[in-house]
């Protein structure tokens, strides 16, 4: 019996040792996993850096104001120093303005419409482009701000903040509808949505209303999704391979930043021009 008891005790001891070793291994893996997760900090909503009275200043808000002020200053300086023979700075600004004007006119094919909408769409394109390219500055995504006993990202692209994106989308949506009314009149505008000549035309009008509001969601999510996913991908690569990992994705992000900054306002301009052109075609 003593030999059996000894064998049982030995087995129990070995089992306890294995269980203890397994627990230690699990704890080590859990600790390593937690440390890796702590390196990848991604927040869907913008994070507050500090407060100016009752106003929270987020990591996307200061970027928006910085870009806005910079654009105002740059174009104000260019406007005050116009010369018959342009220097390099004036030539650079004129090239941007002329290039974007020709791009917008190629979509509208209407000089009157182009001159009317050009200032708003130029401003939108430049703001989105600067915001997206600002995020491509090396190391900027890795900067952190200490607040409230924890670290938050100091920088966040404006277009990676859905509140900002939906605000821009709603503004352009209202501007789009107002511009269509200006060019085709309220009767022509409302006739597209409210047609009481029959059941089918009435149903089509209701579908048109739903389609207009669906464009707000699709346009805003397209812009936000592309830029936010790019931000998440770069943060993951910074955690995995801080030196070389983000480089190829940053190059891809550079291309995405330019395309999305132009595509977003161009789609809205295209929808707006289609509404104007359809009405004009119906009257010929």
Residues 111-133, buried b or exposed e (16+ Cβ, 10 A)?
A: eebbeebbebbbebbbbbbbbbb
Of 140, 139, 173, which is closest to residue 157 (Cα–Cα)? 140
In sequence order, what are the beta bridge partners of 237?
none
CB-based burial of residue 181 (10 Å sphere; 0-12 exposed, 13-18 middle, 19+ buried)? middle
pTM of the model: 0.78
What is the rounded distance in angstroms from the CA atom of residue 159 to the CA atom of residue 231?
A: 10
**Are the beta carbons of 186 and 88 closer than 8 angstroms?**
no
* Contacting residues for 90 by C-beta, under 8 A, at least 6 apart: 78, 81, 82, 83
Residue 189 near residue 180, CB atoms below 8 Å: yes
- Please state, as a whole number, how many other Cβ atoms lie within 10 Å of the Cβ of residue 157: 27
Give me the tens of pLDDT residue by residue for the chain, a chain 284 residues long: 445 444 434 544 444 444 354 445 445 444 444 444 445 566 777 888 888 888 888 888 888 999 999 999 998 988 888 888 888 888 888 898 899 899 899 888 888 888 889 999 999 999 999 988 887 777 676 677 777 767 777 788 888 889 999 999 999 999 999 999 988 888 888 888 888 888 888 888 889 889 889 999 999 999 998 888 887 777 777 777 776 767 777 788 788 888 888 999 999 999 888 888 876 555 55
């Amino acid at each position: 019996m003593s030999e059996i008891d000894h064998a049982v005790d030995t087995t129990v001891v070995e089992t306890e040792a294995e269980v203890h070793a397994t627990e230690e291994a699990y704890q080590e893996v859990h600790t390593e996993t937690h440390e890796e997760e702590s390196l990848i900090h991604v927040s869907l909503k913008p994070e507050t850096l500090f407060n100016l009275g009752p106003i929270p200043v987020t990591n996307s808000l200061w970027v928006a104001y910085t870009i806005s002020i910079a654009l105002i200053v740059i174009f104000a300086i260019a406007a005050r120093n116009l010369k018959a023979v342009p220097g390099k700075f004036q030539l650079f600004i004129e090239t941007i303005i002329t290039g974007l004007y020709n791009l917008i006119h190629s979509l509208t094919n209407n000089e009157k419409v182009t001159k009317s909408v050009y200032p708003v769409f130029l401003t939108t394109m430049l703001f989105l482009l600067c915001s997206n390219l600002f995020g491509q500055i090396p190391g900027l995504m890795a900067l952190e701000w200490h607040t409230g006993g924890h670290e938050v990202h100091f920088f966040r692209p404006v277009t990676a903040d859905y509140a900002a994106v939906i605000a821009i989308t709603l503004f352009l949506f209202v501007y789009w509808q107002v511009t269509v009314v200006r060019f085709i009149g309220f009767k022509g505008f409302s006739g597209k949505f409210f047609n009481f000549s029959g059941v089918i035309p009435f149903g089509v009008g209701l579908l048109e209303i739903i389609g207009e509001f669906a464009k707000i969601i699709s346009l805003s999510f397209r812009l936000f999704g592309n830029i936010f996913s790019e931000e998440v991908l770069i943060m993951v690569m910074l955690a995995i391979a801080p030196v070389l990992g983000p480089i190829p994705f940053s190059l891809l992000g550079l291309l995405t930043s330019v395309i999305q900054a132009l595509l977003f306002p161009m789609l809205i301009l295209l929808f707006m021009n289609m509404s104007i052109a359809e009405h004009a075609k119906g009257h010929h």
